[in-house]
A and B are shown apart, each in its own frame.
Chain A
């Protein structure tokens, strides 16, 4: 499989990075520096130019540098020269006056979805330990990121589903549980919800088989790990409709719908017990690693190009054994890796091509 490669990166006014231009190594790129110097901002800028989004915030305004009151807001821009096979393209992400724009070779992409799947990228940051320990939202996001590649049509219905679901809730509040227009919104909730659950089920199926293999390779003793997709609503239209109708009064009281794919989950268990409550710290970390390894593998397969990997200070959250497992996985998986750390000497790249950079107050300088 070909690896996606970032050949050159050029960052302007992205959070505390005023100006940074560098050519990364095709394998490991290690960014070190003290806390608060802008290491994570480099990864965020890369993620933004490859996917059109941030992994830290949904507000583009957060990406702007701090300006003095009355100062002129600068244009945030990230350019990346990307190579895939024998093709090279330039991607650009910009935020001007609060509006985001993306371009591939100076042309506007057909859609944000087309842009987001052009250059696959997977990020692993400390917050993702909640994939195993936290509520279902992070696991749904994992499903959605993978579904973007394995079932793009279905996942594009997420927005319509969300709007239909909210409209149903508002209609319940404004017009009561017997209003005929609740029926119509439920019809749309079902139509878009079924498509969405189908996409997530397809994503889950691919993730599960990969994650189990990865998990077994981290823990040599069998732990009876099981991972399964738990849809938030019946996956059959009539049953879904009956449940929605039955729950109208309850949903009105609680201010939110009890069923629907907004409640989807990926259930993780060890020896039949829910991992969230029963797993040890080490097992949680191994589960998260296994899920991320699966995300990388499945997106690579579905897209036909190995994704760029961004690892944000991950070894600080993993214990020694898990860090070793991660790096042996990274060495075995070819592809370009960008990682941040406060302790570069602990990053065991073992002879693989590597470039080290230092971050100080938003300035990137190569270390030889």
Chain B
């Protein structure tokens, strides 16, 4: 195989969820269809980092335009500024946006506390989060880190850091998925669902 072709295959195979076979399919497809498809894709990909940068307020993806750089959510005046939802990564924010029920604002940490991967508290933008809450206007901080060991440790850490600021701090629930049949739920999830039960 030509080294150039191999290089392209390797680049595709670096993407999450793309293995060697899929990389082959993509590259062969691009080589055998209208060349404009590959050219457009190439232009869009090479522009990505110039067009999008982290939002200067919440770290969500934002289109570069005026300064300061603001994402669509931070620009949206109809969003409730008193509810601030803290998430680990942008994809979690997008997932939380899907139901459309949370009309507050976000803060993206960009990671979780994970000493085993060398991520300590200093690697997270917590001072910026504290500053944002301190500026006022926030009534509730929702900690929406995942229910993993690292996610729970991060939640405990955030609770401590935000504890003295006079805002209510909540944690997302963990339990049974919608339409889930109790019979088929794993015992840990079921246990959490019982722990998190509420009066009706």
- In the complex, how many angstroms separate the beta carbon of A248 from the nearest chain B beta carbon? 14
Asked if B179 is at the interface of the complex by the 8 Å CB criterion, the answer is no
Bound Cα distance A160, B153 (Å)? 11
Asked if B165 is at the interface of the complex by the 8 Å CB criterion, the answer is no
> Could you say which of A110, A174, A175, A187 contacts B156, with CB atoms under 8 Å apart?
A187
- Which residues from 171 to 195 on chain A have a C-beta closer than 8 Å to any C-beta of chain B? 171, 174-175, 180-181, 183-185, 187-188, 192
| Cross-chain contact B149 with A110 (CB below 8 angstroms) | no
Query: Which chain A residue shows the least CB distance to B185?
Result: A110
| Cross-chain contact B153 with A185 (CB below 8 angstroms) | yes
**Segment with Cβ contacts to A, from B96-104, B109-117, B170-178:** B109-117
For B186, the chain A residues whose CB sits under 8 A away are 110-111, 113-114, 156
For B115, the chain A residues whose CB sits under 8 A away are 166-167, 170-171, 174, 185
- Which residues from 142 to 189 on chain B have a C-beta closer than 8 Å to any C-beta of chain A? 148-150, 152-153, 156-157, 160, 184, 186-188
Asked if B120 is at the interface of the complex by the 8 Å CB criterion, the answer is yes
- In the complex, how many angstroms separate the beta carbon of B131 from the nearest chain A beta carbon? 18
Residues A175 and B160 in contact in the complex (CB < 8 Å), given A110-B186, A188-B152, A188-B153: no
> Could you say which of B120, B148, B153 contacts A174, with CB atoms under 8 Å apart?
B120
Asked if A152 is at the interface of the complex by the 8 Å CB criterion, the answer is yes
For B120, the chain A residues whose CB sits under 8 A away are 171, 174-175, 181
- In the complex, how many angstroms separate the beta carbon of B140 from the nearest chain A beta carbon? 21
| Cross-chain contact A181 with B157 (CB below 8 angstroms) | yes
For A187, the chain B residues whose CB sits under 8 A away are 156
Asked if B137 is at the interface of the complex by the 8 Å CB criterion, the answer is no
Asked if A328 is at the interface of the complex by the 8 Å CB criterion, the answer is no
> Could you say which of B116, B121, B191 contacts A153, with CB atoms under 8 Å apart?
B191
| Cross-chain contact A170 with B116 (CB below 8 angstroms) | yes
Bound Cα distance A329, B150 (Å)? 47
Size of interface on B: residues with Cβ below 8 Å to A: 19
| Cross-chain contact B160 with A180 (CB below 8 angstroms) | yes
| Cross-chain contact B188 with A188 (CB below 8 angstroms) | no
For B153, the chain A residues whose CB sits under 8 A away are 164, 167, 181, 184-185, 188
| Cross-chain contact A184 with B157 (CB below 8 angstroms) | yes
Query: Which chain B residue shows the least CB distance to A153?
Result: B187
Bound Cα distance A110, B120 (Å)? 34
| Cross-chain contact B149 with A167 (CB below 8 angstroms) | yes
Bound Cα distance A163, B114 (Å)? 10
Give the interface SS of chain B, mostly helix, strand, loop or mixed: helix
- In the complex, how many angstroms separate the beta carbon of B29 from the nearest chain A beta carbon? 24
Query: Which chain A residue shows the least CB distance to B160?
Result: A180
Bound Cα distance A151, B149 (Å)? 21
For A184, the chain B residues whose CB sits under 8 A away are 113, 153, 156-157, 160
- In the complex, how many angstroms separate the beta carbon of A262 from the nearest chain B beta carbon? 15
For A171, the chain B residues whose CB sits under 8 A away are 115, 120
Bound Cα distance A156, B189 (Å)? 11
- In the complex, how many angstroms separate the beta carbon of A167 from the nearest chain B beta carbon? 5
For B191, the chain A residues whose CB sits under 8 A away are 153
| Cross-chain contact B149 with A164 (CB below 8 angstroms) | yes
| Cross-chain contact A160 with B187 (CB below 8 angstroms) | no
- In the complex, how many angstroms separate the beta carbon of A302 from the nearest chain B beta carbon? 14
- In the complex, how many angstroms separate the beta carbon of B147 from the nearest chain A beta carbon? 10
> Could you say which of B116, B187, B188 contacts A167, with CB atoms under 8 Å apart?
B116
For B188, the chain A residues whose CB sits under 8 A away are 153, 156-157
> Could you say which of B113, B116, B160, B187 contacts A166, with CB atoms under 8 Å apart?
B116
| Cross-chain contact B156 with A163 (CB below 8 angstroms) | no
For A185, the chain B residues whose CB sits under 8 A away are 115, 153
Bound Cα distance A184, B191 (Å)? 22
Query: Which chain A residue shows the least CB distance to B121?
Result: A181
For A110, the chain B residues whose CB sits under 8 A away are 184, 186
Bound Cα distance A171, B149 (Å)? 14
Most chain A beta carbons < 10 A, residue from B113, B152, B160, B191: B152
Bound Cα distance A156, B113 (Å)? 22
- In the complex, how many angstroms separate the beta carbon of B174 from the nearest chain A beta carbon? 13
Query: Which chain A residue shows the least CB distance to B161?
Result: A180
Residues A156 and B187 in contact in the complex (CB < 8 Å), given A170-B115, A181-B113, A188-B149: yes
For A156, the chain B residues whose CB sits under 8 A away are 186-188
- Which residues from 89 to 129 on chain A have a C-beta closer than 8 Å to any C-beta of chain B? 110-111, 113-114
Query: Which chain A residue shows the least CB distance to B188?
Result: A156
- Which residues from 146 to 164 on chain A have a C-beta closer than 8 Å to any C-beta of chain B? 152-153, 156-157, 160, 163-164
For B150, the chain A residues whose CB sits under 8 A away are 163, 167
Bitwise interface map of B from 120 to 150 toward A, beta carbon under 8 Å scored 1, else 0? 1100000000000000000000000000111
Bound Cα distance A167, B116 (Å)? 6
Query: Which chain B residue shows the least CB distance to A152?
Result: B187
Bound Cα distance A184, B115 (Å)? 12
Q: Jot down 8 A-B pairs with beta carbons below 8 A, ordered by A.
A: A153-B188, A167-B149, A170-B115, A171-B120, A174-B120, A183-B156, A184-B153, A185-B153
**Ranked 6 nearest A-B pairs via Cβ:** A170-B115, A184-B156, A153-B187, A163-B149, A167-B115, A171-B115
